[in-house]
Amino acid sequence: MAGSIYGKNFTITTWGESHGKGLGVVIDGCPAGLDLCENDIQKFLNRRKPGQSKFTTQRKEGDLVSIFSGVFEGKTTGTPISLIVENTNQRSKDYSNIKDIYRPGHADFGFDKKYGFRDYRGGGRSSGRETIGRVAAGAIASKILNSLGITLTSYTKSIGPHKINYDNFDKDFISQNKLYMPDKIAYENASKYLEDCIAHQNSSGGTIECVISGMPVGIGEPVFDKLDANLAKAIFSIGAVKGFEIGDGFDVSNATGLSNNDSFVFKDKNIGKKTNHAGGILGGLSDGSNIIFRAAIKPTPSISTTQETVTSNNENVDISITGRHDPVIVPRAVVVVESMAAITILDLLLENMHSRLDYLTDFYKK
Ligand SMILES: Cc1cc2nc3c(=O)[nH]c(=O)nc-3n(C[C@H](O)[C@H](O)[C@H](O)COP(=O)(O)O)c2cc1C
């Protein structure tokens, strides 16, 4: 199966299935000399771990990471870093009843037709568990970005009809609630809404917002490797993401040139912008303002309400999906979105190292 490798300079290869022995990632291109221990990665993995609240799947996994290679005496060596998480709480029999049935909204139908057979246990490679490798790699990318003064803040912006109000924005509250919302009132309303969804054997979608601050100007490569194009690919590669927008996003279609343009201002020895409709990216390059983007996440496809579908023998049947599923994917995907953004930014920062002759001469000409 092709398509499991992402990045050009900081390359990640994720591997593993939901109900196989384990999952992980191989990272190639991580610079040598970074202090790295399992706990740096575990902190990130704990943010996506299942079984932590009534709003996530009840599958109980410790998701404990082991560093198998690439680190010696607490520092990265510049060689491939291999990270492994073992599966410990598979209940594959939960899936035997959907072995020959295509779940509406899931990847089953396409996988079966493409490969001729599929690992139906927990969705195999199309499971949300695949994102373990992304998050483990994202922890490392974020650590490097933080050392350069670049920080990423991600949170749930909405669940169903319940959106955050920026007047109530409380950054500290993000990590204090199970929905990762920065607004207590929106969190309480979203919680009630989700309880209702669960009671009706249904699921909910929502949106995730990510703000990246401390970006230097000029990161991204013109034409095919634009920063916004790469971010879009990274975020759209996450299961259940159905929309992506930067800055004012789809709202620009209702704007005028005058209302949409961000005026430049020279202040405190720096060129900045008065507003940030562009979301920190112009011409595919970072413009030095905060990068702001959003991802729309669809409702979890596996729901226990009876739905119509078809078997691999072309029979029309009804299906009610049992097993353990997230009633909403959004809170667990927050750190996945942040991780893919961190990997993308780091990859393009490394690419930028050879964009100018003076960068090379400064480094090599003694
Ligand atoms: C973190 C995460 C958790 C997920 N949990 C579930 C789940 O419990 N049940 C489910 O049916 N889909 C879940 N999904 C969504 C499926 O992986 C996804 O819908 C499926 O692969 C089909 O792909 P598509 O929605 O991108 O078309 C999850 C996705 C992510 C990113």
Instruction: Give residue 342 CA to ligand 1 midpoint distance, Å.
Output: 21
Mutate to test the pocket of ligand 1, among 300, 328, 334, 338 (most ligand atoms within 8 A of CB): 300
Instruction: Give residue 274 CA to ligand 1 midpoint distance, Å.
Output: 39
Ligand 1: which atom is nearest the Cα of residue 239? Answer: 26
Residues of the chain under the 50 pLDDT cut? none
* Pocket of ligand 1 contains residue 330 by CB under 6 Å: no
**Considering the entire predicted model, what is its pTM?**
0.97
Burial 322-349 (b: 16+ CB within 10 A, else e): ebbbbbbbbbbbbbbbbbbbbbbbbbbb
pLDDT score of 236: 98
* Pocket of ligand 1 contains residue 340 by CB under 6 Å: no
Written in H, E and C, the secondary structure of 61-118 is CCCCEEEEECEECCEECCCCEEEEEECCCCCHHHHHHHCCECCCCCCHHHHHHHHCCC
Contact yes or no for 294/245 (Cβ under 8 A): yes
* Pocket of ligand 1 contains residue 174 by CB under 6 Å: no
How far apart CA 18 and CA 90 sit, in angstroms, is: 8
* Pocket of ligand 1 contains residue 239 by CB under 6 Å: yes
pLDDT score of 1: 60
pLDDT score of 51: 82
Instruction: Give residue 315 CA to ligand 1 midpoint distance, Å.
Output: 25
* Pocket of ligand 1 contains residue 143 by CB under 6 Å: no
How far apart CA 45 and CA 26 sit, in angstroms, is: 16
Residue nearest to atom 25 of ligand 1 (CA): 240
The structural domains of the chain, ordered by start, are: 5-364 (3.60.150.10)
pLDDT score of 149: 98
pLDDT score of 6: 98
pLDDT score of 193: 97
Nearest CA among 105, 110, 97, 106 for reference residue 319: 97
Residue 159's DSSP bridge partners are 162, 206
Ligand 1: which atom is nearest the Cα of residue 240? Answer: 25
Residue nearest to atom 11 of ligand 1 (CA): 302
For the stretch 52-81, pLDDT in tens is: 888 888 878 899 999 999 999 999 999 999
Contact yes or no for 135/343 (Cβ under 8 A): no
Mutate to test the pocket of ligand 1, among 57, 326, 330 (most ligand atoms within 8 A of CB): 326
